[in-house]
Chain A
Amino acid sequence: MSVYLLRRLIQAAGVVLAMSIIVFVGVFAIGDPVEILISPDADQFERERAIIALGLDLPLWQQYLIFLGKAVQGDLGRSFVFNEPALQLILQRMPATLELAFAATFGAILIGLPLGLYAGLKPNSVGSKAIMAGSILGFSLPTFWVGLMLIMVFAVQLGWLPSTGRGETVEILGTRWSFLTWNGLTHLAMPALNLALFKISLVIRLTRAGVRETMLMDYVKFARAKGLSPFRVTFVHVFKNILIPVVTVTGLEFGSTIAFSVVTESIFAWPGMGKLIIDSINVLDRPVIVAYLMIVVLMFITINLVVDLMYSVLDPRVRLDSK
């Protein structure tokens, strides 16, 4: 087990290294940060000074080596735009994004699992047809469009929820969380729903497909034949089996929720990492892009590791140290 973990860690380091090279080359290919950041009326002298100030006068490979040298010491560089350590900038904004992603993921499971179960157990009822039709809406409408419609309906027309931004926060262990205040929750509701829509549909469909398939399996038939209550069959035997794909996908989705919260965060002016990264990409703030991706990659690797570990708990047939 510990050998397995160690191997995964070494692999993780390789992934992070590969990622940082891609970002360096990629950002270099997209454009020149100084052209974007500098005041338009700066003369050539000022432009050259800024290029030197940001360390962009060196050849790319040298810039990369300098970055690596500092990264080993835990310094991921300073943001070109904010002149603050990139890591610090991202960590400051991480709670907001985590909060949003957790809310969306829990919402998706809370809503998606029961609906999917119902649709799978009673596939021909009107209710489950309606659920399936509704779930199509969840992933066919572009997020940005749904976001604006939510604001129009719930904030402008009905006035029930605040339109944008994050609400009051409470400080716990040095980080600020807004889900502990009523005001914070009302601000959280719409962006979380917006972000969860796709996932709800996904969970519904996966659960339904899993249930329908499992119900026909021999062991379920056997359990029924044995006279177990339908409740027990459903929630112990069937449920356990369908959890694998649902866990995989929600686990994965949690990662991509964080990576793709960009649109939701910019529509709802949610001060998270997604908004930071889109702003940083727009001005090619390379240190922030690299630091952000490093954190996200590490997060993904951790999540995948946890998912793999959960596999072995949920399904003894999957053994981690295979081969």
Chain B
Amino acid sequence: MSAVVGQGAPIEDPAKIKVETPFRRFCSEFAESKLALGGLIVISIIIVVAILAPFISPQDPYDLAVLDIMDGRLEPGEKSGDGSITYWLGTDDQGRDMLSGIMYGLRISLTVGAGSAFIACMVGASLGLAAAYAGGKTDSIIMRIVDLQLSFPSILVALMILAFLGKSVTNVVIAIVVVEWAYYARTVRGTALVERRREYIEAAECLALPRYRILFRHLLPNCLPPLIVIGTMQVARAIALEATLSFLGLGVPITEPSLGLLIANGYEYMLSGKYWISFYPGIALLVTIVAINLVGDQLRDVLNPRLQK
């Protein structure tokens, strides 16, 4: 217990005087930025829309029985052939209502983006920390695997994984995790190498604290700032990577398009002026990513132990 005081006392003491729980302090600090708060609200709305998509979307865009190619590529605001739906954002080449497609696509893109970024971050950060802390053989083995991983083109990795496991959203997540984890590992190791030489780690080591405790309570928080920068970017990058894989025909199943696949499909129609097929999903993607980043930026500032007042 004394160890915690020794390490964290200067920071924790003033907080205790104000009788604030860490969570409350975290919330109030986060709310200091209006932009970040706005981002949080937007993300909440997007998540709610994504979860409720089956109940609020005008059409089930994954049900081939309700799609009609005769309604394909209708402009925004046009009605379906049988007059039952108005396509407020137009339709894609299969006659899929873009509004419904975007709502459902958000589900998949968020799952793929957040899911793969989170898992990759967990795996990568742990291995990166372990490599930096343990050094020697462990470091060498982990870092050479990282080298191997980073040099494999993501397309080849995805192609192999999809060939082994078949095409599905889960497998796209796996493919992206496999491609991206090395990125976190490399970054965390770089920072941790510097941090582990600092006095507070030496102090913790002198006190013979358990290893995992030093790793996760002391080393990790101090490696967080670059990790969060990369993490929030990687959510975006994962979504964009999924879009690229879809563009190359290696992404999610074509009958269950993500935002990325919608954009990739619409891409071919950009030259002919049928902008809505890729424009609206693009806007949805952009808003999502901007919101995630606003929140991520603020999180980084709030969580950074060295920026704390």
A residues with CB within 8 A of B: 7, 11-12, 14-15, 18-19, 22, 26, 29-31, 132-133, 136-137, 139-145, 148-149, 152, 198, 201-202, 205-206, 209, 212-213, 216-217, 244-245, 248-249, 252, 255-256, 259-260, 262-263, 277-278, 281, 289, 293, 296-297, 299-301, 304, 311, 315, 317-318, 322-323
Contact B240 A256 (CB under 8 A): no
Residue-wise interface mask of B (281-309) relative to A, using a CB-CB cutoff of 8 A (1 in contact, 0 not): 01001100110010001001100101100
A263's partner among B136, B159, B244 (CB-CB below 8 A) is B244
* B6-14, B52-60, B85-93, B144-152 - interface stretch: B144-152
Whole-angstrom distance between the alpha carbons of A304 and B145 in the complex? Answer: 12
User: Could you jot down 22 A-B contacts, CB within 8 Å?
Assistant: A11-B144, A14-B144, A26-B156, A136-B236, A136-B289, A137-B286, A139-B240, A139-B289, A141-B286, A145-B282, A209-B225, A244-B190, A248-B190, A278-B248, A281-B156, A293-B152, A293-B156, A300-B147, A301-B144, A301-B147, A304-B147, A318-B193
Contact A144 B307 (CB under 8 A): no
A245's partner among B159, B226, B304 (CB-CB below 8 A) is B226
Given contacts A11-B140, A139-B233, 4 further A-B contacts (CB under 8 A): A30-B160, A206-B229, A248-B186, A281-B155
Write the chain A residue with the least CB distance to B161: A26
Contact A318 B159 (CB under 8 A): no
Tell me, rounded to whole Å, the shortest Cβ–Cβ distance linking B177 to chain A: 16
Q: Which residues of B contact A136 (CB under 8 A)?
A: 236, 286, 289-290, 293
B226's partner among A22, A206, A315 (CB-CB below 8 A) is A206
B237's partner among A139, A216, A244 (CB-CB below 8 A) is A139
Contact A248 B290 (CB under 8 A): no
Q: Which residues of B contact A7 (CB under 8 A)?
A: 140
B135's partner among A249, A301, A322 (CB-CB below 8 A) is A322
Write the chain A residue with the least CB distance to B228: A209
Whole-angstrom distance between the alpha carbons of A288 and B296 in the complex? Answer: 41
A29's partner among B163, B190, B247, B271 (CB-CB below 8 A) is B163
> Among residues 231 to 270 in chain B, which have CB atoms less than 8 Å away from a CB atom of chain A?
233, 236-237, 239-240, 243-244, 247-248, 260, 263-264, 267, 270
Contact B263 A142 (CB under 8 A): yes
Whole-angstrom distance between the alpha carbons of A49 and B201 in the complex? Answer: 65
B1 within 8 A of A: no
Contact A248 B187 (CB under 8 A): yes
Q: Which residues of B contact A296 (CB under 8 A)?
A: 151, 153
Write the chain B residue with the least CB distance to A319: B197
Q: Which residues of B contact A206 (CB under 8 A)?
A: 226, 229
Instruction: Give the 9 A-B CB pairs with smallest separation, nearest first.
Output: A140-B289, A26-B160, A142-B243, A30-B163, A296-B151, A300-B151, A297-B151, A323-B135, A248-B190
Contact A30 B159 (CB under 8 A): yes
A304's partner among B143, B237, B244, B247 (CB-CB below 8 A) is B143
Contact B282 A141 (CB under 8 A): yes
Q: Which residues of B contact A140 (CB under 8 A)?
A: 236, 239-240, 285-286, 289-290
B278 within 8 A of A: yes
Tell me, rounded to whole Å, the shortest Cβ–Cβ distance linking A4 to chain B: 10
B191 within 8 A of A: yes
B154 within 8 A of A: yes
Q: Which residues of B contact A149 (CB under 8 A)?
A: 270
A217's partner among B144, B186, B304, B306 (CB-CB below 8 A) is B306
Q: Which residues of B contact A29 (CB under 8 A)?
A: 160, 163-164
Given known pairs A216-B306, A259-B150, A323-B136, the reply for A205 and B233 (CB within 8 Å) is: yes
Contact B286 A201 (CB under 8 A): no
B194 within 8 A of A: yes
Given known pairs A15-B144, A26-B160, the reply for A259 and B153 (CB within 8 Å) is: yes
Whole-angstrom distance between the alpha carbons of A300 and B147 in the complex? Answer: 6
Whole-angstrom distance between the alpha carbons of A128 and B112 in the complex? Answer: 31
Whole-angstrom distance between the alpha carbons of A317 and B267 in the complex? Answer: 50
Tell me, rounded to whole Å, the shortest Cβ–Cβ distance linking A119 to chain B: 11
Given known pairs A15-B147, A29-B163, A259-B153, the reply for A244 and B194 (CB within 8 Å) is: yes
Q: Which residues of B contact A148 (CB under 8 A)?
A: 267, 270-271
Contact B150 A144 (CB under 8 A): no
Whole-angstrom distance between the alpha carbons of A140 and B281 in the complex? Answer: 12
Contact B154 A260 (CB under 8 A): yes
Contact B247 A142 (CB under 8 A): yes
Tell me, rounded to whole Å, the shortest Cβ–Cβ distance linking A134 to chain B: 11
> Which of the listed residues A139, A201, A262 has the most CB atoms from chain B within 10 Å of its own CB?
A139
Write the chain B residue with the least CB distance to A245: B226
Q: Which residues of B contact A248 (CB under 8 A)?
A: 186-187, 190
Given known pairs A245-B190, A323-B136, the reply for A209 and B229 (CB within 8 Å) is: yes
Tell me, rounded to whole Å, the shortest Cβ–Cβ distance linking A212 to chain B: 7
Write the chain A residue with the least CB distance to B186: A252
Write the chain B residue with the least CB distance to A133: B290
Whole-angstrom distance between the alpha carbons of A26 and B243 in the complex? Answer: 23
Q: Which residues of B contact A31 (CB under 8 A)?
A: 163
Contact A263 B247 (CB under 8 A): yes
Q: Which residues of A contact B240 (CB under 8 A)?
A: 139-143
Tell me, rounded to whole Å, the shortest Cβ–Cβ distance linking B296 to chain A: 10
Whole-angstrom distance between the alpha carbons of A12 and B145 in the complex? Answer: 10
Write the chain A residue with the least CB distance to B286: A140
Q: Which residues of A contact B186 (CB under 8 A)?
A: 248, 252
Q: Which residues of A contact B271 (CB under 8 A)?
A: 148, 152
Given known pairs A26-B156, A139-B233, the reply for A213 and B304 (CB within 8 Å) is: yes
> Which of the listed residues B186, B233, B243, B304 has the most CB atoms from chain A within 10 Å of its own CB?
B233
Tell me, rounded to whole Å, the shortest Cβ–Cβ distance linking B121 to chain A: 16
B147's partner among A141, A205, A262, A297 (CB-CB below 8 A) is A297
Contact A152 B191 (CB under 8 A): no
